[in-house]
Structure formats: structure tokens, C-alpha cells
Structure 1
């Protein structure tokens, strides 16, 4: 049998087998497909986990495919059910925080130590000089001296369009110009393909390796995508092998996406898991030796010591400030401002009555050093009882013959003084703000002519006389509308008037002066002029009669009615009796 006959018989058999398949399986094997579709869940259920295990064991692609899906699923679930996840994760947070802090401190120590070694050691200074001379960044030079090789960046490029699909880099800075690098590589590759002769198998020339002074570009071509790796150092073969494995894996997983690519690279975001496997690095033998970060520990210990010292100083200053603020409780002292300036200096601003304790004495009594305290004082008059009592006691230092006792807030004076000294004491006490002095407080002080130390000085006596006359001239007695009768308050004022005038008479007699008191009645504008004239005179006469009853000689008193005085600056108007002391030389 010839070969042609054999081929005819074989062809006939194949045709018959094809007809049998169509009868058994149906057109396009739809019978088998239908059977598989109906039992797909049972069939997959039996082999699903084993198939995933075998595929993961074979090439590790299952984890790379599922990781992005799981991440997105978890992200969506956390966004929609955040409160539930907080409850789930709460028991783990403490442990996670402790581990994270430990890892952070360890990493910080290692980085700090590396930075110190590379910056402040002889080797670090030498590397800086070499990097400047080579016109490269210090970090790049350190990497070249530390690593035998390192894949700095990986690009995934669509072969047909030359567009960048994704990229991964060792640092963020290197990934900034990924699109520009991708475009340049595509342009260079097209130039090589168009400008040089085809290979022996009629395929186009393609770039495999591009070398520069700083790094090497390793290019792996695929039917639909290209992977390019930027490598520093001496590139081993295993980098090329890893790129080839990654490229094949991406073609398997994203074959349809690569075929239907329309410029949207969003679908290739999940290729980070595959591209990250290409970021391979290997330290030089001397760099692998792990050094203990003594210098980093020393710097950190120094920083902690400094911070601790500053904290102690600040705490001491705050305590000192708290102690100084207690001065505000002292009578006659008010803190207006207190603040800490710098680390130790305290600036204190106070209002202090002259009779209050001095700031320096108070600080000394509290064993507080004034070295770092700046005090600014402003004077004011305090009405606190303790300060008023101190003023009274200070006034009595010039009068050793007078004793003082306090009943509640009123002083009781006893002792003996000359007339001039008694008048001088009366004047000084009347000037103390907040005391509310009245002359009858000195009634228990007896007068002795032989103790009048100032009686022989006419100038002093005349000054005291003028002072007391001025006080009488300022006194007045008020009346109700249309009334001339004295009120109880008016009677009390007239008693004070009598006491003041008696003292003036005594002093005037020593100076041989004839003294008198003019009593002037006045009225407001209510009523007729004639009525008000009579009313004002009657008011003056009533005051004169009352002073006569209180012991003043009638010959020293002169009552006149002034009539209407229109004073709109007071609510009481001019319904008053005014006084004026007059004196003449009797010699």
C-alpha cells in the first residue's frame, strides 16, 4: 500500500471520528459544556482548595492575585462598618501600639546611627567629598557604597503604545519622573528597531541593556508588555531571571487587559505585587555586619538628659511662681501680672501701699531668692483694715506719749499731749484714707501746756490754726424744703462744729487773736424771694441758738440770711447753713 493510500485511509478515519464526536458531544461540544455547567459547583468545590494550593506552590501567583482583591474588600468593609471593626480590633490595639513603638524606636536608632556614621565619621566625610566630585547626591553615593547591587526602580510599559502602566521604586523621589523615563525608553527602543538591520530570524532589533555611569537599565521584552529595571552596582543574572518570571506572570494574569488596553492604566494598579518582587538588593559583605548603635544611643541619651534637665528647671520655676503668687494674700499688695520669661526669670508687677510689707522683706521671710525675680511696683492706697492700722501705728511713732488700743475697727487713744501736738495728731489722722477719723476720738487725750513742744513757734501755731479754720469753713448743715428746724443729723454736725471751734478758740487765744464765726443761711429758688429771705435768716438764727446752747459765746457768733442761692449742681439745692471763721489781731 502506497503512502498516498495510507493518508487517504487516515483522513477518512479522522472524518468518521469527527462525525462520531459530533453525534456524541453535539455541535461545538455543547453536550459536554452543558453537563459541566450543570455540575460546575460540585466539580469546583471538590478541587478548588487543592488547585489554589498547587498553583500557589507552583509559582506563587495566587497570593499576588488575591492580595489586591482582599485589600480592596477589607477597605470597603472598614469604610462601611468602621464601628464594628473598632470593636474587633480594640483588644489588639494595645499590643499593636507597643510593637509599633518598639519597631519605630529600633528603626530610629538604626537610621540615626547610620546618619551619624555617614555624616560625622571620616568615612562619611570622605563619601560626601566623593559624591560631590562625582556630581551625584550623597544618598545615591551611599547606596552605591553600601549595596553590591540594588534595583532602584521598575517600569511596566505597554509594548504597542509605549505608555507607562505602573512603576515601583525604592524611594518616592525616584518615582516622580516615571512617565518621562518610560517615554524616553520607548523612543530609544523604536529608534533601534527602525535604524538597524533585522536579526537572522527576521525579528527586529530590540534593546536589552542600557548602561550609564550611574546605573544600568535592564530591558525584558514581552509580546504585549515590557519590563525595565534601573539597577545600581554589579548586576547579577538573577535580576534578569526575576524580570522574566514577573513579565510572564503579568502576561498570564493580565493578557486580556493588555490586549484591550485603551490608555487607562488604572486596571494595572494591582501589578505592584508582581513589580515589588523585582526590587532586589544585596548589601556588601562589610555592610551586612550589624553594628551596635552606640553613637545613636549616646546622642539620644544626651537629648533625654537635656530634656529632663530643662523639665526640672521648668518645674522648679513653676513652683517658685506658685509660691510668689501667695504675696497677693498680704494686705496692701495686689499682683497685676506675673509671668515666666525664659527658663528661670519671673517678672512680677504689683500694686503696693507704702505701709504694706516690702516685696524684698516678704521674699526674704519666705526664704525665696530674689536672684531671678524682676519686680515692678506701683503705689496705691489700700483701704484694708490691716493697712489702715499700720498707718495709724506709724503716725503714732512721732507721739510716744500716746497709747493705742483697737475696739473692732475703731481706735482708742489715751495719753497726754500739748495743744499743738494734739492738733497736729488730729490733722495727720484725718488724712489717713479709710480710717474715717472723727475729732472726738481724741477726747481721752489730756492737754498739758508744759508738753506743748510747738507752742513757742508762732509759725507752726498759725499753720495749725489756718488748717482748723479751713476745716470749719468746709462744714455745712442741710435742711428740708421750706424747713428751718434742725434735723438729728444736723445736730450731730453742729456738735462736731462746736468741738472744732473750741479748739480754734484755744489756739487763737494763744496767738492773741480775736476770733468769731459767721453763720450764713441760704435758700433755694422754690417760693417767693421775700419768703426765701426770711427762711434763710431763720435757718441761720436756729443754728446760732443751738451753738449757744452747746457752749459757744454769743459774742463770737453772727447770723445772717443770704436769701436765694441757685445751685443746680446738687440735688439738695442751696438749702444750707454755711460757716466762715474770721479773726483779728486783738493787740
Structure 2
């Protein structure tokens, strides 16, 4: 059997892996080691960052309590971070603050409205009642003695009883009263108040933190002022003023500031709080109406007559002013070239706004005819061009006159001879003058055209005077020969007194040798 010959690959296979490793080390070994070092550094940095964050947080929490300077240094950073967060996502901050601010705003607005309504009721009761007749009608309607009704009205209000109730247990912490026989069982009253408040909160409000503020029981009102631990219940007769609520608020704040520890322990110990009831005496306030002095109504009648006369006078002048203003506006509406867009009138000012053709009458000039002054009237007019024929024809006539004033006929040096190209221009000027004269005649306006001859700066003064006059006469004769009325034209020589160009060069002097036209239009 033939023996198999070894291949070349078999000869080099045992050392191929070793050679590859050596080749790899030579080519990329250094890069591999750098990558390994970078990875180890990154892992170490990440671990150090996590560890540093915990250390920094603990350090700030500890040092901020010891050194207030740290808080001052960090405050701008925190404020800037909060401001940037709110600017980028304002809905997040709104969602956080809404439950707290919304509840506080609703409660504050509700209390303010209630106080306003109480004040309004008090004002109406005092200002709209006919005192003695009203009292007798009330006594007849309620079946009470007139003396009782008069006493009730003379006494504005009085705080009859004050209760301090523990919010959590509903038990009585302390009480003080003006009438010992007004309420028989204080504990029962306190229990009923607590039960009523729980019933209202559970049945009529979706917010379990909502509190009952006022209870009406017959002729008495019970005002409730709530605090974090205790609430104050004031039994009031009469019509209390809104300022009484401030008294109750201050008393609740005083109780929580001075008896907070005792109230906090009451839930577990049930012990009475020394000094609490003595502090409630300031809440037993009352207000007695002062008797009104009998006074003559003559001065009120005189004041009423004067006010009525002033009202009638003001009404008369107001409508008179309105009629005058309407007449002025109608006059403006009928003026050609004026368009009234808006007009306003009130007690103190008058104003009008619209469009006005520059050739229309000035509206301010019409104010004097209607006893109005420019200081009383504010006017604002935007310019526009009216299509009214009276303005259009005048504007066209002025444009024709302006166009003729801009024309200049050129002459050769020291000559009244025209270049060939200027002859066609003279034909055009003749047509312009003829059209101008026709339009002026239709509008019954006076028109006269003066032809001025000019020379350049060369030549003597006497020669230039004669040459400029000859050039003007030559143009007048040409136009008259073409059919223009000679009475419309006159000639004059200006020599070189009005050069057409300030340059002394030849090109500038060529522009000086000319004839121009002046139009007198009246």
C-alpha cells in the first residue's frame, strides 16, 4: 500500500497558533493593552461617582445643619434648577401645586364671599328699614312684644357662648358663656355640632377636609372657626359683623400657640387644660346700636332737589352735546373727499376716524360752527385719493401744470436755432399747453405761462441778456404760430442767472442753453 505524503500545511500547523499570537502582539498588542486600561479606568470612575454621590449627599445633609453658609451657597443653584425645570415642563409644577393651592384659594374665596354677604345684609338692614314702623310690623308679624323687637334691634349682636372642641375626639376642651341658662347640656351640644359637621362633610362634599363654617338655628348663628387640633364654636344672637370673624381667627391662633401641648395630650389623658377657659373671655363681645338723633329732613330734601337739578342739567347738556355731535358727523359724511369710518361719543370724549383726500376741507375748520373745540375732539384721518370728479379734474390740471414746468428746450451755442431733435419736443409742448388751457377753461381757472430763456456762462452779460430774450421770444412765436392763444404766453430772458447745471465743463454748459416754462394757475 502506497504511503501518503505529508502536505505543506501539516508541516506548519503545530506552530500556526503561536505564530498568529506573536503576529497579533506585534501588530495590535499595544492597542489592546490601551483599551484594557481605558475600560478599567471607566469602571473605576463609575464606581467612584456612585460612591461620591452618597458621600456628597450625606455631607450636605450634615453640614447644612451646622453651617448656614452652605444653604446660602446652594440656594441660587437650587433656584436656577427649579426655574429651568418649570420653564421646560410647567405642567409638572402646576400638577404638584394644584391640590394645595386650589383648596386654599377656594376656602379663602368662600370665606371672603361669606363675610361680604354678611356685611351687605347688615348694610341693607340698617339703610332700608323704616325704624319704628318696621319694628311694629315685625312685632305684629312674629307675635312678639314691641319692646322685645326694639331691644333686639337696639342690640346689634352678642356672642352668647364659646365652645372649644377637640377635632379628633369631638370632646369639649373648654367653654365660656354670657347666659348661664341659654344651653342646658354643653356636652350634648358639642356632640351634636360634631355629628352635624361629620354628616355635612360625608354627605354634601367630596373633599373630606372641607369644614362647616356657619349654622343657623332660629335666631342664633353658630360660627365655627377651625384649627389644626381644635375648633372654636361661637353662638351669636343678632346680626354679627364681618370683623367678628377676625376675632375668632386670632383666638384660634392664640389657643394653638399657647395650649398646643395640652390639647395634643388631651386625646390620651382627657385632662382639663389650665388657663384655656380664662383666655376665651375676649371672645364674648357685643355691640349695641347707638340711638339715632332726631334730625330735620329739610337738608336732605334740599340736597335731593339740588341733586335732581344737577341730574336734569347733566342730562340736558348730554343730549344737547349728542345732537351737536350727530350734526357735525352728518356734515362730515356729506363733505366730498371725506369718508367717516368710525365715530364714538361718551361723557368725557369725542372721537372720529376715517379717510380724507388731501384736497378736501379740513374737518377741524368745521368744529367752530358746532361749538366744539379741537381739544374736545380726537380726529384721525388716513390720506386717500377720492374719485369725486371735482377732485379728479383739479388733480389732473395740477399734474399737467407740473409736467410743463419740468420741460426744457435745448439750443445750440450762441444761437436761437434749435437742434432737429428739439423740434418734435416743441410739438409735444404745444399739445400740453393746449390741453392745459382747455382744462383750466372748463374749471374756470386762470392760467398764464411764462417762457424763460437761458444761456451758458460764455459770452458777455449784454450778449447773454439779448440771446436769452431772443430764445424765449422765438419759442413764443413758434407756439402762437402753432395755434396757442398769445394771451396765455409771455417771454423773459434770464441770461445765465439760473444755470441748469453747476458744472463748468462743456457738458454742463450744454444744459444751460435752454428755455423753461413757468405756469401760474389760480
* TM-score, shorter chain, exceeding 0.5: no
TM-score, normalised with respect to structure 2: 0.30
Query: Which of the two has higher C-alpha Rg?
Result: 1
Pick 1 or 2: higher relative contact order, CA cutoff 8 A, min separation 6. 2
